[in-house]
Structure 1
Amino acid sequence: MKPRLFIGSSSEGLKYVTYLERKLADYVDCYKWVDDAVFVPNKNTLDVLIKQAKLSDFALLVATKDDVTTNEARGLTRGTIRDNVIFEHGLFLGATSAERAFLFAQEDADLPSDFNGVSTLRFSETIGKFNHIDVVAEQLIKAIQRAEKQSELGFLPSTALAMGYFTGFVKRVCEALGRDRKILYKKEERPISGYQMKVILPANIDDDGVNAFISKYNHINGLEQADTAVLPGTQGRGYPFHFKIDPPEEGEGNPINAHIFDVPTTLGTIVEAIKLYLPTNTIGPDIDKEHLERRELRNFANVLRHYISRNAWTKGHVEVIEGVE
């Protein structure tokens, strides 16, 4: 799944939009302001822009010298960009962050003073110049690739959910198994020789969460329930999980090599958040909501992998598997 990029411009700047769409096609899914899928009939322009800001991972506003502004007091005449381009850049800047909303401006286009000191993507069409449009487009691609590797706290909850799931379950289970080397299985403590955990992320989330998926997955894969052991003299209870002994004969009086499988129940929160974030009064497939769901699942996985790789108890023991049907 490629990230989604909204491209806006004036009518006069459309030739640059077409160029950028072609240049960026391998890296992002481009949604241009002139596409039928963006501005649909009978919809208010501002509402459409707000919706696109919610759906987009990145935004690119092309600023071209479309108008001439004269400052009589200073005796200056300048080529200026359309007000709507600046407005839309600000809208997407607030929705996606400063690292994900870009202004792609002609080098001598007059920008508002708010941009003084801010590095923007200024391009020239003069061949061989340091900021030729091809060179600046490559800078844009690198900026998108850098930002795509990072996760941010956004309006939707996947980043915070992944952080909480790792801290509250994955890390604690792995630490208990690695430290105590035993589990509570069928009401008896059993020693383990090792442990591996697979975090299972479904391809899509049901409207009522992941409970049905968990039940089906555990049944198909023959998983059994166990808990981390509670050490003598300590209070509390173990952490429950589903697992299987692999190979099965290891469980016959020998230390168990525990293969743990977990589907985060917290994923159901993503669906509820999307319902509030993008409300609808229709029944049936909704490609925008499906896009947001896939984006949140992907981000959940990326954040989780980051934390797994930075903890001694989980690194090398936990794998995240995406897109399970």
Structure 2
Amino acid sequence: MIKKKIFIGSSSEELPLAEIVKATLEKDFDVTIWNESLWDTAVFKINQNFLADLLKASLQYDYGILIGTEDDKVTVRGNDMLQPRDNVLFELGLFTGRLGSTKCAFLIEKNIKLLSDLAGLTLAKFDKTNPATLIKSTQQISQLFMASADDEINFFPSATLAAVYFENLVSPICKFVIENDGFESKGSTYKNCRLNIIVPEKIHGDVNLQFEKMKRQIATENVSFKYAGRPRYISIDTQIKDDTLVFIDFPTILTGINHAIANLLPNDFNNLSPDYNAILDRELRRFITTLKKLLIRHGFDEMVFVKRDSSI
């Protein structure tokens, strides 16, 4: 099972707390603390702009946890108070804006007074003098993240692409077969029909050419049919297996993910960096997850199978 990725931010003085949080989460998540220096997982790379690295991290990770401690003394309307380091608050806002409030949590000391702007954000408090409270609050955040949906749109279009693909191809094929009690091909009517959707492990520059090469591994015949409400015929490849007509499709709409990464992270896209590969893999999984949820919602899950190209 692939673990979701969590970014942990904190002040440099409170890195020991971040280590405890990481140790608590590592069983279920792939966790990175902001200061870790291994090249492939480091948030801040050598000779790169810190803000650019943060922006990239907010796109690369599935969840964010920011640890707020009593680091700085500030005066608010004549009253002295302690609040988290400015960079922690900045990162909290950045990750919340990028990931959404359900995928970002603020782990704070119990006595910190919060801004009203943070209302609605997931908050978990702990007592710095009692490590057990930190672990307990981290476990609560873990449960929240584990239960969160995986089909939010965010800055990448994978969920939207899955919905469009479902409405324009998957749903019409399933409805046509159900309404006609099968599908007729070459004078024979096949009562048993299914749709196999092949999703690649990687997306190449020319997705159409990539899928054509994949298609050559399978002996297929193209069919087309008219479905009510659609302006043109639906065209799709098929093969016959054990008296079952199998529709086979390679969703070229996935090229939209590459376009999004190319615009948001052009350097990583051009260099096929580890960050690019991590984001691409996550978005392909999110496409599949969204598609499967739509299939279940519409009752097509027993008829449609989503596979990776490695299973061909």
Does the Cα contact within 8 Å between 2:6 and 2:29 map onto a contact in 1? yes
CA RMSD of aligned residues (A): 2.6
| CA gap 1:8/1:24 in 2 versus in 1, 3 angstroms | same
Residue in 1 that maps onto 2:290: 303
Aligned amino acid, residue 169 of structure 1: L
- Say if 2:55 is the partner of 1:43: no
Residue in 2 that maps onto 1:198: 196
- Say if 2:235 is the partner of 1:240: yes
SS at match of 1:99: helix
Instruction: Report how far residue 239 of structure 1 moved.
Output: 1.6
Does the Cα contact within 8 Å between 2:105 and 2:121 map onto a contact in 1? no
| CA gap 1:284/1:81 in 2 versus in 1, 3 angstroms | closer
Aligned amino acid, residue 165 of structure 1: Y
Instruction: Report how far residue 294 of structure 1 moved.
Output: 0.6
Structure 1 distance, partners of 2:301, 2:268, is: 44
State the TM-score, normalizing by the size of structure 2: 0.89
Structure 2 distance, partners of 1:56, 1:258, is: 41
- Say if 2:252 is the partner of 1:269: no
Structure 2 distance, partners of 1:70, 1:56, is: 34
Instruction: Report how far residue 285 of structure 1 moved.
Output: 3.5
Where does 1:119-138 land on structure 2 (aligned, <5 Å)? 120-125=123-128, 132-138=133-139
Does the Cα contact within 8 Å between 1:122 and 1:136 map onto a contact in 2? yes
Structure 2 distance, partners of 1:73, 1:154, is: 40
Residue in 2 that maps onto 1:85: 88
Where structure 2 has 5 or more consecutive residues not aligned to the other structure, the ranges are none
Instruction: Report how far residue 180 of structure 1 moved.
Output: 1.7
Does the Cα contact within 8 Å between 1:182 and 1:190 map onto a contact in 2? no
Structure 1 distance, partners of 2:265, 2:230, is: 44
Where does 1:1-325 land on structure 2 (aligned, <5 Å)? 1-36=2-37, 37-69=42-74, 73-74=78-79, 77-115=80-118, 120-125=123-128, 132-147=133-148, 149-183=149-183, 185=185, 188-209=186-207, 211-228=208-225, 238-247=233-242, 250=243, 257-280=244-267, 284-312=271-299, 314-322=300-308, 324=310
Does the Cα contact within 8 Å between 1:183 and 1:189 map onto a contact in 2? no
Which one is further off, 118-127 or 172-181? Answer: 118-127
Structure 1 distance, partners of 2:32, 2:274, is: 14
SS at match of 1:79: strand
SS at match of 1:108: coil
Instruction: Report how far residue 97 of structure 1 moved.
Output: 0.6
Structure 2 distance, partners of 1:320, 1:117, is: 36
SS at match of 1:222: coil
Instruction: Report how far residue 324 of structure 1 moved.
Output: 2.7
**Percent sequence identity over matched residues?**
26
Does the Cα contact within 8 Å between 1:106 and 1:122 map onto a contact in 2? yes
Instruction: Report how far residue 175 of structure 1 moved.
Output: 0.7
Instruction: Report how far residue 167 of structure 1 moved.
Output: 0.5
Does the Cα contact within 8 Å between 2:182 and 2:193 map onto a contact in 1? no
Which one is further off, 99-108 or 78-87? Answer: 78-87
Instruction: Report how far residue 183 of structure 1 moved.
Output: 4.0
Does the Cα contact within 8 Å between 2:102 and 2:121 map onto a contact in 1? no
Which one is further off, 276-285 or 56-65? Answer: 276-285
Larger gyration radius, structure 1 or structure 2: 1
Instruction: Report how far residue 116 of structure 1 moved.
Output: 5.7
Structure 2 distance, partners of 1:179, 1:126, is: 66
State the TM-score, normalizing by the size of structure 1: 0.85
SS at match of 2:125: strand
Where structure 1 has 5 or more consecutive residues not aligned to the other structure, the ranges are 251-256
Aligned residues: 306
Residue in 2 that maps onto 1:254: none
